């Protein structure tokens, strides 16, 4: 996908699954429907409806043969997709929808040919009614249902097309001499420098080198407000530049770009089956065997108590009414709609089964930094404990160790050093000990920027009263160590996100207990937790500690874990629902089930609301797709025959098709709630 512009896609080139593995071309389906409809008109004008001749019908000598010829063409041409689908199902030993349809129209066709020959060659008395009227209308209705289905699926997936259209056709590439050259987007490469003018769409994922602007990312992330961007900030390809102009270095394009990842996630989600879809498939299989049993049984009974002319239409009605066409659409249409809505609102669903866990959630475990807080640290206190190292020396050494790191605490240190105009170079032999600190060599001395956990594990002395004082103010504290000696510290403050308290309140209202898990100190964790309303706080945790706690909480209920998708990867994987929150291009996609492009905690509630609405629509559609069989199959078998009511095959086809249309409409009414900001 070097070039993702899909604006020229011909929608008639879309394919649709007509059975297990059998694909049908959209253009072919549309053509088959119209040709079959034209063939159906003379058939219904020249053949009896439900065995009765109507005043407007054209009955003349030889009309039966004309109907038989037209019906045969219609049977093989219009019914072709269903026969191919049935063949695929039988080859996989999983008979379902297509097999039932084929059985219904097949029985009707064979009996109708027999009726024409018996009436016109052997002149049997009384005459045998044919079922070409029912056969033709059944095939046309089935084709119409599939056409409606395909259009619905295509509309539900239109978000993918919209994402592909976000990218411009060309990019303004800046060469080493500062000259601008317009190149096709497909030729744009990572590492090139591009210029983005006011009002233009950003051609690819990039990092701003110079200039500043307000960028509208609403079509990509769902964030309605323009976001201020300046040198060092990342921008997403497809978002719209505001009034400023900037140059940026391309970091992702083609398959590596954010939009490409989004489109892949959507398509993967649509192609993968969830537990609900597997249940729908099993129900369809049960319906097949139930219909086969009831159809054969009713045929035998009616053949015994009446005759073949009565028994056959009863069996056909049973087979037609039980077709699980609507059942096959019940879950996929809702999933397609839900996935598209989620993507438009910055919610990327990687694992659809995760959505089906929402109604059973009991705990929401969340990281502090980046989830409840902004993750934008500011140095509030800088202290030196060693006479040979000034405060600036402490900050300079810490900046050397943290140079190149993207951790929020590291960013705060680097920002402070840059603000004070301190010169520093990256340390050598740097390495990280997860949950403890960053280490490296500066001027032949090994230093470390470490947490209080490291000090206590290595029995290093530090001023506990000072630590408690700074931590109680809500600061995260990092120490500079060398040769088993504590040289200094920085205390950095973070701001709580505006929507954090709303998230916690909403979770409690939904019966979900919020729990804070953080590697930060207990005092800072307590302060943040108290501000947002969380009572259960677990602090000073390593990544493996968080994973252990996820397992512990899972012993009493389903767990949602919300983290940054990098250090929290084990917990994201372990939880029943792993939700990575943060900028889309930095999220560890391989760990999370759900990815929130924006860092707004309100998106968590949007996801939960969307997931519940999706589950509700799935349940409703499963009932529409299969529930009517509880009444319709017995009626088709003739249980009300003693009071004079018999369900005709045509009526069965109409009921089944109405169910399909209702399922499609119900899926398209799925909406996402907008969570108001506090």
The 10s digit of each residue's pLDDT in 534-589 is 999 998 887 778 889 999 999 999 999 998 755 676 788 889 998 887 653 343 45
Any idea which of 123-137, 218-232, 303-317 has the lowest mean pLDDT?
A: 218-232
3-state secondary structure 548-609: HHHHHHHCCCEEEEEECCCCCHHHHHHCCEEEEECCHHHCCCCCCCEEECCCCCHHHHHHHH
Cα Rg of the chain (Å, integer):
33
- How do residues 386-442 score in pLDDT, each as one tens digit? 889 999 999 999 999 988 776 778 888 999 999 999 988 889 988 877 667 889 999
- How do residues 125-180 score in pLDDT, each as one tens digit? 767 777 788 788 878 877 876 676 566 455 544 445 555 555 677 889 998 888 88
Backbone angles phi, psi at 78, to 5 degrees: -70, -30
Q: The domain 167-259 is classified under which CATH number: 2.60.120.10, 2.70.150.10, 1.20.1090.10, 2.30.42.10?
A: 2.70.150.10
Any idea which of 50-54, 113-117, 347-351 has the lowest mean pLDDT?
A: 50-54
Look at residue 555 in the predicted model and tell me its pLDDT: 94
Q: What percent of the chain has pLDDT over 70?
A: 79
Q: Residue 608, class by beta-carbon neighbours within 10 Å (0-12 exposed, 13-18 middle, 19+ buried)?
A: buried
Look at residue 7 in the predicted model and tell me its pLDDT: 33
Q: Residue 606 pLDDT > 80, yes or no? A: yes
Contacts of 226 (CB under 8 A, 6+ apart): 214, 215, 216, 242
Q: What percent of the chain has pLDDT over 90?
A: 26
Q: Is the dihedral of CA 533, 538, 540, 546 positive or negative?
A: negative
Look at residue 5 in the predicted model and tell me its pLDDT: 37
Integer Cα distance of 527 and 24 in angstroms: 60
Report the candidate in 520, 183, 556 with the shortest Cα–Cα distance to residue 193.
183
Q: Do domains 167-259 and 378-493 have the same CATH topology?
A: no
In b/e form, how buried is each residue of 387-425, taking b as 16+ CB within 10 angstroms? eebeeebbbbbbbbbbbebebbbbbbbbbbbeeeeeebe
Instruction: State the catalytic residues.
Output: 367
Where are the domains positioned within the chain? 1-156, 167-259, 347-373+496-597, 378-493
User: Can you tell me the mean pLDDT for 475-496?
Assistant: 91
Integer Cα distance of 166 and 155 in angstroms: 17
Look at residue 21 in the predicted model and tell me its pLDDT: 43
CATH class of the domain at 347-373+496-597:
alpha beta
C-alpha 113: how far from chain center: 49
Look at residue 220 in the predicted model and tell me its pLDDT: 55
pLDDT grade for 4, boundaries at 50, 70 and 90: very low
Q: Residue 276 pLDDT > 90, yes or no? A: no
pLDDT grade for 70, boundaries at 50, 70 and 90: very high
Helix (H), strand (E) at residue 665: helix 649-668
Most confident range, picked from 7-16, 238-247, 410-419: 410-419
Look at residue 164 in the predicted model and tell me its pLDDT: 56
Most confident range, picked from 229-233, 429-433, 457-461: 457-461
Look at residue 163 in the predicted model and tell me its pLDDT: 52
* Global model pTM greater than 0.75: no
Average model confidence (pLDDT) across the chain: 80
Look at residue 677 in the predicted model and tell me its pLDDT: 42
Higher pLDDT, 144 or 669: 669
Integer Cα distance of 611 and 354 in angstroms: 9
The two structure tokens encoding residue 270: 């649509």
Look at residue 610 in the predicted model and tell me its pLDDT: 92
Look at residue 156 in the predicted model and tell me its pLDDT: 44
pLDDT grade for 112, boundaries at 50, 70 and 90: confident
Look at residue 308 in the predicted model and tell me its pLDDT: 80
Look at residue 23 in the predicted model and tell me its pLDDT: 43
Look at residue 349 in the predicted model and tell me its pLDDT: 79
Domain boundaries 378-493, corresponding CATH code: 3.40.1110.10
Q: Residue 676 pLDDT > 50, yes or no? A: no
Look at residue 195 in the predicted model and tell me its pLDDT: 93
Contacts of 619 (CB under 8 A, 6+ apart): none
The CA–CA distances, whole Å, from 182 to 164, 171, 175, 188, 206 equal 20, 6, 11, 10, 17
């Amino acid at each position: 996908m070097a070039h993702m512009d899909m604006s020229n896609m011909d929608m008639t080139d879309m394919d649709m699954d007509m059975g297990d593995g059998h694909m049908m071309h959209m253009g072919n389906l549309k053509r088959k429907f119209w040709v079959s409809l034209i063939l159906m008109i003379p058939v219904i004008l020249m053949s009896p409806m439900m065995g009765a001749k109507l005043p407007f019908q054209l009955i003349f000598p030889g009309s039966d043969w004309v109907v038989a010829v037209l019906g045969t063409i219609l049977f093989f041409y219009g019914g072709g997709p269903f026969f191919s689908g049935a063949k695929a199902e039988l080859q996989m030993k999983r008979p379902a929808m297509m097999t039932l349809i084929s059985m219904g129209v097949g029985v009707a066709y064979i009996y109708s040919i027999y009726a024409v020959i018996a009436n016109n060659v052997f002149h049997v008395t009384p005459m045998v009614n044919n079922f070409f009227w029912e056969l033709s209308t059944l095939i046309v209705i089935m084709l119409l249902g599939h056409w409606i289905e395909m259009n619905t699926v295509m509309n539900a997936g239109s978000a993918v097309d919209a994402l592909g259209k976000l990218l411009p056709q060309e990019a303004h590439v800046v060469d080493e001499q500062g000259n601008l050259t317009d190149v096709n987007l497909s030729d744009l490469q990572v590492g090139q420098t591009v210029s983005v003018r006011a009002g233009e769409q950003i051609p690819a994922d990039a990092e701003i080198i110079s200039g500043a602007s307000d960028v509208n990312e609403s079509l990509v992330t769902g964030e309605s407000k323009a976001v201020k961007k300046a040198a060092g900030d990342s921008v997403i390809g497809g978002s719209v530049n505001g009034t400023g102009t900037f140059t940026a270095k391309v970091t992702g394009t083609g398959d590596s770009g954010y939009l490409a990842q989004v489109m892949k996630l959507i398509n993967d989600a649509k192609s993968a089956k969830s537990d609900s879809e597997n249940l729908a498939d099993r129900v369809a299989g049960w319906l097949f065997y139930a219909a086969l049993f009831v159809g054969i049984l009713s045929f035998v009974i009616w053949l015994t108590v009446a005759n073949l002319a009565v028994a056959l239409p009863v069996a056909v009605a049973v087979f037609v009414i039980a077709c699980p066409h609507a059942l096959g659409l019940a879950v996929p249409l809702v999933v397609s709609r839900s996935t598209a809505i989620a993507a438009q609102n910055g919610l990327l669903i990687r694992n659809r089964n995760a959505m089906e866990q929402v109604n059973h959630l009991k705990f929401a475990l969340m990281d502090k930094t980046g989830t409840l807080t902004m993750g934008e640290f500011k140095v509030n206190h800088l202290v030196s404990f060693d006479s040979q190292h000034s405060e600036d020396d402490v900050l300079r050494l810490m900046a050397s160790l943290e140079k190149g790191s993207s951790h929020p605490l590291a960013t705060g240190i680097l920002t402070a050093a840059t603000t004070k105009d301190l010169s520093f170079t990256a340390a050598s032999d740097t390495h990280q000990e997860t949950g403890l600190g960053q280490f490296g060599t500066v001027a032949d001395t090994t230093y470390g920027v470490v947490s209080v956990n490291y000090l206590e594990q290595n029995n290093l002395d530090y001023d506990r009263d000072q630590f408690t004082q700074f931590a109680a103010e809500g600061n995260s504290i990092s120490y500079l160590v060398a040769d088993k000696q504590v040289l200094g510290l920085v205390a950095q403050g973070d701001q709580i996100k505006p929507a954090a308290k709303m998230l916690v309140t909403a979770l409690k209202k939904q019966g979900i207990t919020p729990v804070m898990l953080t590697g930060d100190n207990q005092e800072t964790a307590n302060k943040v937790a108290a501000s947002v309303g969380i009572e259960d706080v677990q602090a000073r945790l390593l990544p493996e500690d968080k994973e252990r706690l996820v397992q512990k909480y899972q012993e009493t209920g389903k767990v949602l874990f919300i983290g940054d998708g990098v250090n929290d990867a084990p917990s994201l994987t372990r939880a029943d629902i792993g939700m990575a929150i943060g900028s889309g291009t930095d999220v560890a996609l391989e760990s999370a089930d759900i990815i929130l492009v924006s860092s707004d905690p309100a998106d968590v509630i949007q996801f939960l609301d969307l997931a519940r609405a999706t589950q509700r629509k799935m349940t409703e559609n499963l009932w529409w797709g299969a529930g009517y069989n509880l009444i319709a199959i017995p009626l088709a078998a003739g249980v009300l025959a003693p009071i004079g009511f018999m369900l005709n095959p045509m009526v069965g086809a109409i009921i089944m098709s109405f169910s399909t249309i209702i399922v499609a409409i119900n899926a398209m009414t799925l909406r996402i709630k907008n969570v108001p900001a506090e």
